Amino acid sequence: MSKIELDHSKGAVNRAGVTLLSPEQQGQHEAKSVLDNWRGCHVAPLNSFQTSLRLRLKKVDGKALVSQRLKRTPSILSKLERNPGMKLARMQDIGGIRAVVKTMREVREIESAYKKGTRVFSLVKGGKDYINYPKDSGYRSVHMIFKCKDGFSIELQVRTEIQHAWATAVETMGTFLDHSLKSSQGPEEWLSFFTLASSAFAILESTPRAPEHDSYSARQVLEALLEKEQELDVIKKLSGFRVAARHIEADKEKGHYHLVTLNLETRFANIQTYAPKDIDRANIEYSLKEERVKKGENLQVVLVTSESISALKKAYPSFFLDAQLFATQIAVVRRKLAKMA
């Protein structure tokens, strides 16, 4: 398997991060090349970690969904902007891997299995339990940070199917509102709705709610969510965004690296697939697509790894504007409330 080698010092990586945030155009192209190389170096440790994760998941949840991704440049730069003291070479989630399991019991089993790290990866500080302590936005998941012997950090996210449904719906709606709802940015009515949804879903899973809903009864939370859903016509709007199957063009190439490009104007999704030996080419194509975004094209682009196109659509439904999982959970909330009557 081809491996991308680091061509720059960590100091150069940090300087590239500063340059890319600068309004000056000088040095931008070179800085982006340094970022691309640094990001690409996370592929090998991600692949190694995924092998370990799949083996552990077989004992916990044989149907768990596993995916990995390289963080998008806009997301990297946004994070650096929000955290002025952060250095690019110390960002811990450029390489991310996610496991979506059925229930909270399985989340805790995986978390426990990794508390001592692995033979290759050490568990380091920086992780968060956003299930016991949800973000103000309502985001819930367990994050664990690992460092490999080469010094690259990997972030493991473990979440339930319900938590995954919420997170992907937030991303889908955020795309159309042109706001990062998951970072608590955007119209208050939508931020409020998704925080309510998170608390309602937490009630379904018997886990802590978003702090602002601690004083409400379970019934009050569920009723408030359904009332807000009707007021904003959420499910109808989300359903209307969905990319039709005929508007998804997928390579017939074999491989598990997928470069997904969503054109938000035409609602057309394109999936380019690369074999492991072609990771260099995939990384270059990823960068070229991101340059198009920078020049103003209304695209979303991400390079991910998944065992099949079918698994890819389940792992990243927001890249196909698909919020069906979320609609299903709203229906579950409706049934639970009916039983309380």
pLDDT of residue 239: 92
Q: What is the pLDDT of residue 16?
A: 97
- Helices (H) and strands (E) counted in the chain, each on its own, are 12, 9
Ranges in the chain, pLDDT < 50: 1
Q: Name, in order, each residue with C-beta under 8 angstroms of 186's C-beta and a sequence gap of 6 or more.
A: 174, 177, 179, 180
First and final C-alpha spacing in the chain: 59
* Three-state secondary-structure class, residue 140: coil
> CA nearest 208: which of 131, 108, 104, 127?
131
pLDDT of residue 254: 81
SS3 185: coil
Q: Which fold has domain 10-160?
A: Beta Polymerase; domain 2 (3.30.460)
Label residue 250 exposed, middle or buried (CB < 10 Å: 0-12, 13-18, 19+). middle
Cα(313)–Cα(329) distance, integer angstroms: 18
In sequence order, what are the beta bridge partners of 321?
Answer: none
pLDDT in tens, 311-322: 899 999 998 999
What does the pLDDT read at residue 309? 86
Sign of the Cα pseudo-torsion (31, 147, 47, 94, in order): negative
Tens-place pLDDT, residues 240-252: 999 988 899 998 8
Sequence spans of domains, the chain:
10-160, 163-241+322-340, 245-320
CA distance 336 to 114: 34
DSSP 60-105: H-TT-EEEEEEPPHHHHHHHHHH-TT--GGG-S-SEEEEEEESSHH
Contacts for 288 with CB less than 8 Å, ≥ 6 apart: none
Q: What's this model's pTM, rounded to 2 decimal places?
A: 0.91
* Residues 24, 330: Cα–Cα separation, whole Å: 47
How far is residue 285's CA from residue 255's CA, in Å, rounded to a whole number? Answer: 16
Give me 140's structure tokens: 């819930």
Please tell me the distance from the alpha carbon of residue 185 to that of residue 179, in angstroms, as a whole number: 6
In DSSP terms, 148 is beta-bridged to 121
- How many angstroms separate the CA atoms of 306 and 257, rounded? 7
The position carrying tokens 């309510």 is: 196
Cα separation, 141 vs 76, whole angstroms: 20
State how beta strands 153-160 and 142-148 pair.
antiparallel
What pLDDT, on the 0 to 100 scale, is given for residue 2?
65
Give the whole-angstrom CA distance, residue 144 versus residue 112: 11
